Amino acid sequence: MVERAHKTGYVPSKMIEDEFGVDSSTVRRDLARLEADGLVIRTQGGFLPAESKESFDYPYEPRRQFRSTTKSHLGEYAAGLVKDGQTVLIDSGSTTWHVANSLKSKRNLTVITNDLQIALLLSESSNINLHVTGGVQVDSVFTLVAPNTVDYINRIHVDIAFIGAEAVDAELGVSNVNVIEVPVKQAMIRAADCAVLVADSSKLGKRSFARVCGIDEFTAIVTDGRVAPEQRKAFGQKLKIVEVNCR
């Protein structure tokens, strides 16, 4: 199970049940033991490798469930930066999904996104004028990317953009697990008067494969309180800490 997680990233529990002919209770017990030993991270419906998980672009729902309470608080804080009537650009991702969810109470917003799940979430909100960038869906997630995605974003201007990240390092900046999303993220930052990075603390102090930009491109970096003191100092005043009371 650990080898499979390191090979593929996210592993559905049902796959283990079917492949090895065991029942769900056996898989749950084994996962509990592996998690206690620090070898995997359990999520709803499956599990992830405990180490180097930033190297995998694993499916959307497990990402959204991972640290979901924290991400919800980050989303509420970030949405509080938006005023009624503004134009908002939302990057794809599990944390930015929570930003979008908290925007539903706002009035007269125009929201543009390249995330199909975010678009679905906001599609029934009568107070939101929704635009979807277009593009081609990335495997296993709901992100839209393509040259025409970048072209669309290059033709618009927004008040604020919320950007997600796989890894955030004070020196390297923001980096991503794949290169195909990088031009889209860069275009989003250029299109906005104010770019806000929203990432839970597990992403900070990490580096991934493809560099997006430096942290100086952002007005604020919204994260939670599980940030080591030395990291807080490295990121400086851009860091906005949201205290989350959760287990």
Q: Dump pLDDT digits (tens) for 71-118.
A: 999 999 999 999 999 999 999 999 999 999 999 999 999 999 999 999
At 151-176, the pLDDT tens digits run 999 999 999 999 999 899 999 999 98
pLDDT at 244 over 50: yes
The Cα–Cα gap between 47 and 31 comes to: 8
pLDDT at 204 over 60: yes
pLDDT of residue 54: 44
The Cα–Cα gap between 30 and 56 comes to: 22
CATH architecture classification, 65-242 = 3-Layer(aba) Sandwich (3.40)
Exposed/middle/buried for residue 133 (C-beta within 10 Å: 0-12, 13-18, 19+): buried
Mean pLDDT value across the chain: 88
Amino acid at the residue 235: F
Q: Which fold has domain 2-51?
A: Arc Repressor Mutant, subunit A (1.10.10)
120 membership: H or E segment, kind and range: helix 116-122
Mean pLDDT for the stretch of residues 65-74 = 81
Half-sphere exposure of 211 (CA within 13 A, CB side): 9
The residue among 42 and 98 whose pLDDT is bigger is 98
46-49 and 40-43 strand pairing: antiparallel
The residue among 149 and 37 whose pLDDT is bigger is 149
Quick check: 153 and 187 in contact, CB under 8 A? yes
The Cα–Cα gap between 62 and 58 comes to: 8
- Apex 143 CA angle, 172 and 82, nearest 5: 75
Q: Where are the domains of the chain?
A: 2-51, 65-242
The radius of gyration of the chain from alpha carbons, rounded to an integer in Å, stands at 18
3-class DSSP assignment, residue 238: helix
Q: Which residues contact 38 (CB under 8 A, 6 or more apart)?
A: 50
pLDDT at 180 over 90: no
